[in-house]
Amino acid sequence: MKHPEYQYLNLLKELVEKGVEQTDRNTGVKTYSKFGGQFRFDLSKGFPLLTTKRVWWKGVLHELYWFLSGQSNIKYLVDNDIHIWNDYPYKMYREKVVKGLVPDINKEVFIEKIKKNNGYAKKFGELPRIYGELWRRWPAKKNRTIDQVKWVIKEMTDDPDAHNLIVTSWNPEYLYDMADPREASRFPICHNLYQLNVKNGRVSLHLYQRSADIYFLRSFDNAEPSILLGFGVYF
């Protein structure tokens, strides 16, 4: 049997040789894509951390903790020198600059202010409707929030044969031109849905992604769900 990492390497090869060219309408960036590619890993035989490229393990762990702890402010990440989410709040800040509501500063100064000033971070570092909020504090009617992760763990414990173990981040109310422009999310939701299933005492997890950067983010997308599943999460 080939090492399971060949699934990743073969997909890279296929994208280079047969990928369909597409252009992002907002950025003009061209990429090569394949729809519906899948990877499967048996965690009983090892952890699927890529070995053919360097994986930023610190970033994997802190980002996953940020999601699972229900946080939606980048200050935790900035405090731990994780800067992969910096662009989004700064983009929102720039929109205020254009309107003359805040002073014009570069991104480095903006992030330094987030790091050193809790009040500033609270005001400008918040990313509404990102994974932490949608997983752990999904907005519902009557000012209620729903903890999807906690519910899935409880449901899986109470009913090992359950077929409804789903955590979703796809809320059309806030996405693209389906949203009220004043409430629309400023960042893409990629990890749309997690589904878990228990068979013969083994737990399986299926992640469905809207889109994935196969070169850069695939290492995160392999590792984070595997940590969730392989090591267990307790709340």
Residue positions annotated with a catalytic role: 190
What are the backbone dihedrals phi and psi of residue 133, each rounded to the nearest 5 degrees, phi first? Answer: -70, -45
Sheet strands side by side (includes 191-199): 165-168, 191-199, 202-209
Q: How many CB atoms sit inside 10 A of residue 116's CB?
A: 11
176 phi-psi bin (left φ>0, alpha ψ -120 to 50, beta other): left
Residue 110 CA: distances (Å) to CA of 37, 71, 95, 161: 38, 20, 14, 49
Residue 101 corresponds to which amino acid?
L
